[in-house]
Amino acid sequence: MNTRAYQNSLSFREKYLKNGLVKGLVRLPRSLLSNMRESLDRLMHDNPDIPPESLICPHIPYGQNHNSSSAKLWFDYINHPDLLDMVELLIGPNIVLWGSQVFCKPASVGKRVPWHQDGQYWPISPLVTCSVWVALDGTNSENGCMRYIPGSHRERKIFPHQIELNRNSVLGEEIFVNSKDLNDARDNVLQPGEVSLHDAFLIHGSNPNKSNKRRAGFVIRYMPSSSVFMRASGRKTQSGVSFDMNARPIWLVRGKNENSENDYEIGHYENYSLAPE
């Protein structure tokens, strides 16, 4: 484990438990960030008909909602030791990769993301997941950075999500947020290469991108191997784009498997697997 991360682990974990979101202990190297941006350009070029806010699991070459000729590169980014070190401090040493997504808001037209909890959409039990948000571009209030309500994860429950039919929004559902919580909401401002990590129960969203600059991020979903990825949830739809949970491959990327119900073979392809021994 990264020594610097370990030395700061106590306050890092305390902030995560208190607020539901914490800024990463390290910033990714410029060379890595440059490679990730090139991979994003390639991914978007390969998938011109898919909304850039809905490019799901670019680390998987087939079977989701896109073509990803750069899948192996995304898979390597996901396994960067600095990222796994931070995740280990929050959910433990036995880590499963189960998902990822590109969130790219084009300049001036990037869509709003309504207030929601990620856990509303995820087939995981127990519902323990850490999402790592990697800023490929700088994020701020002008270009639609993530906004979150500190401490909204502490009850460990999913709040009612109401139907929200707005073609300028991404999800189609929204949590009602009262004025007090709105006043408490914070902007998750990140510089390129910085990361934040947030809990599955955290209430968060983002405004549309009204600036003249793109806002792109890569989000990686990790869970402890004691949780189970339940495939019976079938196909999901986001922004009119359908993707398959039943056939999605998962990987044990660090440590050991702690739950025999997890299947590390479904969806895996020849010469593209990191299944446990």
Give all domains of the chain, ordered by start, each with its CATH number.
Answer: 3-254 (2.60.120.620)
Distance (Å, rounded) from C-alpha 25 to C-alpha 219? 17
pTM (predicted TM-score): 0.91
Please give the Cα distance from 110 to 121 (Å, whole number). 22
Number of Cβ atoms within 10 Å of the Cβ of 73:
18
Residues in the chain, pLDDT under 70: 1-10, 63-66, 233-243, 269-277
Reported as a single tens digit per residue, the pLDDT across 168-195 is: 777 888 999 998 899 999 999 999 999 9
Q: How far is CA 49 from the centre of its chain?
A: 22
Contact 95, 252 (CB under 8 A): yes
Handedness of CA 203, 89, 79, 277 (dihedral sign): negative
